[in-house]
Structure 1
């Protein structure tokens, strides 16, 4: 069977695209959703059931429908959860909200096109042409579709260390993917933890450890030792403030304008929120050299100011630091070795350059997302080898055009092939948070629906 549309993937971007396809496709259309994750749509972020794992965006901005901004808040009210649009709901609740909205659309016979959910993984692409895209699945079947949306996300970054610098005996103490939360059951209450990376994932894992009964020392090691900044408490938040934009649109000019405004008493959080609606346009106005410079020198600072944590989460984490339970270090990882006292971690201190070492029972990789956005996916690597897709110039993900159409080896859009979410960061940059992905998902679904109606 040749489907009209195939959605490949099973995380948030896949459920967002599927929801909008359900609303926009003609009844005659046929769609397959292909993924092997039993928690379809919840992905890594929204599968967690720990109450301490909170959204990093207020509930009032988390509706999956851009034109219905209060939809998630209404769902929270209906289910007697938190009701404030300014509050930060649990990630588990958001995952349940997505599943409810999908189920509701599937039950709506008035607007429902045919949908098949195929529990499998696409392993390689054997055709990509004007007549459609055909994949092999790991269940032995073939899947063909006239339009395909790649919703495969990006993988976890590897440890910032060459394999030769990691002792083989230490591997059993390294948690390379902390979102497989079963690792928490192995941790003793007093075990010494070393977390590599100091961003949002680190915050989540520290809080999960505490909920799970861990009371030992947690050392956090990252190159700069920067921590996510908190949102202002509810009732103290500034409205979005329009940032001063340099005519040249270069990074230095933008930063200078920010500093002037903050020096004049403007709330930096309001400035960051005011930048949000124009971030993609600004990114696209930069040259490749300017983008590369930003990634080298500004990315870490952007992340901690742009991707903030709820004020209550920040208070909980700060208390752990004040009590000496969590210690944050800025340094460069040099070696991981097994010894009689567990695992020895060697690093070079950022400021002094001194070589230091400490012992841990567990090392947890929280270094973020991979930069080479196809490395995690055998399917994408195979399609790249065939020239069906190309990586963007900075290696952030796939080359796509302004309509999210995937570009092939010749630089031309592949017929009917789209990508969404973090895979398209090279084109859109700010495309990892729900408010941005939902718009992209709706736009792609609308483009496909328009094609099928022609």
Structure 2
């Protein structure tokens, strides 16, 4: 009997176990495979992303795309409708459940409940499912091609296939501040913000993306009265998601046109070609040429842009924002068609703008952020370059390219999850990297086969897989549940197929 071990019990790990159990039950493979889920926290199904108790931490995707089942994206909206729907206090925006944004903890309850239900059903069929609450620290390959997973409690688990689902590993940057009580290295769990930041402290937040927005929301919702300053190289806030986005039809930037381009020009799509097609689609939808120069936000005051974004979101969003969402089902394919050099060029030239549009904040939170900017409680500073800690004053000094220096009593690293493998603060990943069981991708995360999700490395073998943020360099949209459950379904089918073949492959 083969043992499939899943390391990480957040949304990705839970979705993987659920899909594997469904395939095992429907394939009547009760005596061929068993499962082990390893999760270091006391509860499974939540992870960092959906374990926050802060009710102002909202999903950044509407409910109708958040189903934990790969081919049932609307399942969460249906679940929500049966539990009070729009009348609940932890549901914001939208005219119906499909277009609503819920608290993250509510979504965590949903995932945990579906996981528990599927495990219960599997056990009734005689399928062994073990839950181990410990941290995986190392993996060793055995001579018979099995693997041993070592745990921090001194025990170990033997595996035939291993899925790495580490969730959102915090960055290991600013290690020199690690011992300082004034420094919080990650916004989660939120109790550290409440316990270590005084109400009147001037708080510096490194990062202006969604992690930074969540940090601001945590502070103000818990009665913070001091100044808050957000820092990032570009000084750009996320754009604002409409409760109900307008429909955009693509005519130019389509997979059909890009495949024709590859076939006729004998090269992969370039960033310039992609951007030209994007511009054509936007201009066709607008019926005119927008003022593209006016859209440049880098290092410019954010409040006018945010107020304009709120106004547009209240009317269904603007064409640029809606076009990025219309592309969501194509982006992973397009990304895979691009050469590595063009991928790097995209991140350098357009990465900040794509991120601001594609990972926008809910309208409910945007209104709160705008109010804080108007009253002067919140400030956004661009082009931060250097951070120091003055032990005499017990304050941080944040220096910018313009020569200005900003002081902060407390500093929160909200730059988001680390992109590169070597920057991820995770003991298991660190050890796998040292042993060359994982190969770093130049753009971040680990190298995998994008079709099977199998990790490709010098010494890792053929029985280790990766999903979610761990593969952020090779795949796009790895922060989106709908995308991850689709890749997980494909991977699960491959794992079960491998197990049912005679011998090992």
TM-score (norm 1): 0.90
Residue-pair matches, total: 441
- Structure 1 residue 171: Cα displacement: 2.9
Aligned to 1:384: 433
Structure 2 equivalent of residue 92 of structure 1: 105
SS of the equivalent of 1:98 reads helix
Output one character per residue of 1:206-231: Cα deviation in whole Å (capped at 9) or x when no partner.
11111111022111111110111111
Pairing 1:20-169 to 2, within 5 Å after superposition: 20-25=19-24, 26-28=29-31, 29-82=33-86, 84-108=97-121, 111=125, 113-127=127-141, 131-159=145-173, 163=176
Greater shift after overlay, 40-49 or 260-269?
A: 260-269
Aligned counterpart, 2:302? none
Aligned partner of residue 272 in structure 1, secondary structure: helix
Shift of 1:58: 0.3
Residue 431 (structure 1) aligns with: 478
After TM superposition, list the pairs within 5 Å mapping 1:301-450 onto structure 2: 301-338=353-390, 342-349=394-401, 354-374=402-422, 375-409=424-458, 414-450=461-497
Q: 1:250 deviation in Å?
A: 0.8
Aligned to 2:308: none
State how far apart, in whole Å, the 2-side matches of 1:193 and 1:366 are.
12
Deviations 1:103-124, CA, capped at 9 Å, x for gaps: 1112225656210011222222
1:259 aligns with 2:279: yes
**Equivalent residue of 1:384, what SS?**
helix
**340-349 or 321-330: which moved more?**
340-349
8 Å contact from structure 1 (residues 4, 30) kept in 2: yes
- Of residues 260-269 and 198-207 in structure 1, the stretch that sits farther from structure 2 once superposed is 260-269
Per-residue CA deviations over 1:55-86 (Å, capped at 9, x if unaligned) read 00000110011322221112112221435201
Q: Distance in 2 between matches of 1:180 and 1:251?
A: 38
Partner of 1:233: 243
Q: Taking structure 1 as reference, are residues 430 and 242 closer, same or farther at Cα in structure 2, changes over 3 Å only?
A: farther
Shift of 1:274: 2.2
Task: Output one character per residue of 1:25-70: Cα deviation in whole Å (capped at 9) or x when no partner.
Answer: 2222211111211132211110112221110000011001132222
Structure 1 stretch displaced more, 130-139 or 429-438 = 130-139
More strand, by proportion: 1
CA contact (8 A) 2:467 2:488 kept: yes
Secondary structure of 2:14's aligned partner = helix
**Residues 398-431 of structure 1: CA deviation (Å, up to 9, x unaligned):** 4444211111217xx8332211111122322322
Superposed CA deviations along residues 124-162 of structure 1, whole A, max 9, x for unmatched, are 222156632122222222211111111123522344x69
| 4+ long deviations beyond 4 Å | 109-112, 339-342
Q: What is the Cα deviation at residue 257 of structure 1?
A: 2.1
Q: What SS does the corresponding residue of 1:428 show, helix, strand or coil?
A: coil
Q: Give the gaps of 5 or more residues in structure 2.
A: 87-95, 262-267, 287-318
2:325 to 254, 268, 273: 273
| Stretches of structure 1 lacking an aligned partner (at least 5 in a row) | none
Q: 1:103 to 1:239 in 2, by over 3 A?
A: farther
Query: What is the CA–CA distance in structure 2 between the aligned matches of 1:39 and 1:279, rounded to whole Å?
Result: 33
**Matches of 1:366 and 1:394, distance apart in 2:** 20
CA RMSD in angstroms comes to 2.3
Structure 1 Cα separation of the partners of residues 158 and 211 of structure 2: 37
Tell me, yes or no, if the aligned pair for 1:240 and 1:270 is still in contact at 8 Å: no
C-alpha distance in 1 between matches for 2:450 and 2:363: 37
Change over 3 Å in CA distance of 1:51–1:338 after alignment to 2: same
Deviation at residue 341 of structure 1 after TM alignment? 5.0
